Structure 1
Amino acid sequence: MADEQLLTAARQLWTDIAAAPVAFPDRGVSVVASPRSGICPAGWIGLVLLGDSGIGTAPDQVSADEIGARLADHTPQSLYDPANAAQALPAAEMIGPVTLAYLAADRFRPFPGPTVEQLPVDHPDLRALEQRCTPEERAEVSIGQLTSPAFGIRDCGEIIAAAGYVAWPRRTAHMAILTAPRARGRGLAKVAASSAIEHALTAGMVPQWRARVPASLRVAEALGFAEVGVQIRARLG
């Protein structure tokens, strides 16, 4: 799958998630009112910028018109920069820009390593792994919400890294990876994620990776993911 195909697939996905009639324009950002948008929490503004265009959702038409007017002076790619995004949006709180990356099957680079164990998502050892991570990490990566099995790595009887995915629309596999603090920096996220990605690709799905920190993006790139755009969620001030 070429980069252009990945971009098209990503745009189709996020158009569905917007839950309102909207399309990626040739250039710029199209913003619509969508109280049920899946791009952001209820009452927030959500933007998805892919390539040189983007879509946005707002909780009501007044907010949509205001955000659309504000973004008219910014190119989508300029909003990849956090400072520009913060200047453009009237936000009391903002999450992002968060990198969105996708993987074509022919670019997958599996990472070998320790034995990976397949676990049901309600396994108590996975709950123990989550408790060893911060609340912010647990909020971003909820192992308990996986629709795939979890793929974990043990050390001294404990699961110290695990990965899986949530099935999103259009056969998208939204990846989730969690590593215990004491086990980071050893490449275990790549090993666990490799098993989850292989599972998704075998099922004919397109893996999606949402990276909030540079370390997460480095893992994705090492596995063959291509950075396609960003997601921004902002709570109105």
Structure 2
Amino acid sequence: MSTDAVLVRVRALWEGLAAVPVSFSSATGVSVVVSPRALICPPGWMGVVALQGEAIVTAPSSGAAVAIRAAVARLSADGLVDPDLLGRALPLAEVLGPAALAYVDGDGFRPVSAGSLAVERLAVEDSELRQLLMVAGDQDAAESGLDEITSPAFVIRDGGKVIAAAGYRVWPSRTAHLCVLTAPDRRGQGLARVAGSAAVAHALEGGLLAQWRARASESRRVALALGFRELGAQLSVRLS
């Protein structure tokens, strides 16, 4: 599948998550809509998704939309997902992101060999997977989203203990949102690539488009190693 075909699917995904009619293709390159029920940000927040120089923005109210549209006039689509630039145009109380949005299909996927590692499957409710989440700590566990996967968990063990795991949650538009987590003391050893590769392969076999959303540079490097292409970024903002 070409980059353009993937981009069409990705646009459709985020336009649907806006929860009201909106399109990335606007005369100005940025579309602002009022959508209190938007799924691209927490309730009551402003949500921004920028893809290849175009953006959609959801506002929690009509009043917020007025201020946002005024700010949009002074910023590019890419500037809207830069907290520093956005903060000069709008009063920001809290920020989540930005997170890079990367995607891969069967044509671009670069699987990683497990080598001497054995990759097993576990159910998401398995106690051994829960133990990994506990070891990682609340913040890293929440960031990974691993406890919300709908696929099997693809895990790597050492001494019988799960030290890395990956899976995905099925999103709208036949999208697989990848989730990966490695035990803190085992990071930097390539485990995320191996576990992530198994999860991506499973998603692609099911005809899904794989999505990797990441803030940390380490996670972004894992995605790039697997063939993911960064097409944009997502930012959520609570306005003062």
TM tier, shorter chain?
over 0.9
Distance 2:15 2:80 in 1: 19
Residue 135 (str. 1) matches residue 135 (str. 2): no
Residue 48 (str. 1) matches residue 49 (str. 2): yes
Residue pair 1:29, 1:68 contacting (<8 A) in 2 also: no
Could you list the runs of 4 or more consecutive aligned residues of structure 1 that deviate by over 6 angstroms after TM superposition? none
Query: Among 187, 191, 194, which residue is 2:190 paired with?
Result: 187
- Structure 2: runs of 5 or more not aligned: none
Distance 2:54 2:98 in 1: 15
Query: Which residue in 1 is equivalent to 2:80?
Result: 79
Secondary structure of 2:130's match? helix
Distance 2:190 2:11 in 1: 31
Cα distance, 1:80 vs. partner? 4.4
Count residues in correspondence. 237
Query: Which residue in 2 is equivalent to 1:236?
Result: 239
TM-score, normalised to structure 1, is 0.96
Distance 2:95 2:38 in 1: 17
Q: State the Cα deviation string for residues 100-143 of structure 1 (Å, max 9, x = none).
A: 00002111111112110000000001111011113222222232
- Structure 1: runs of 5 or more not aligned: none
Residue pair 1:35, 1:60 contacting (<8 A) in 2 also: yes
Q: How does 1:53-72 map to 2 (within 5 A)?
A: 53-72=54-73
Cα distance, 1:28 vs. partner? 2.6
Residue pair 2:47, 2:236 contacting (<8 A) in 1 also: yes
Cα distance, 1:72 vs. partner? 1.3
Residue 164 (str. 1) matches residue 170 (str. 2): no
Query: Among 196, 201, 205, which residue is 1:202 paired with?
Result: 205
Q: How does 1:101-120 map to 2 (within 5 A)?
A: 101-113=102-114, 114-120=117-123
Cα distance, 1:23 vs. partner? 1.0
Cα distance, 1:214 vs. partner? 0.7
The percent of aligned pairs where both chains have the same amino acid is: 49
Residue 121 (str. 1) matches residue 124 (str. 2): yes
* Partner amino acid, structure 2, of 1:20: V
Query: Which residue in 1 is equivalent to 2:3?
Result: 3
Residue pair 2:41, 2:236 contacting (<8 A) in 1 also: yes
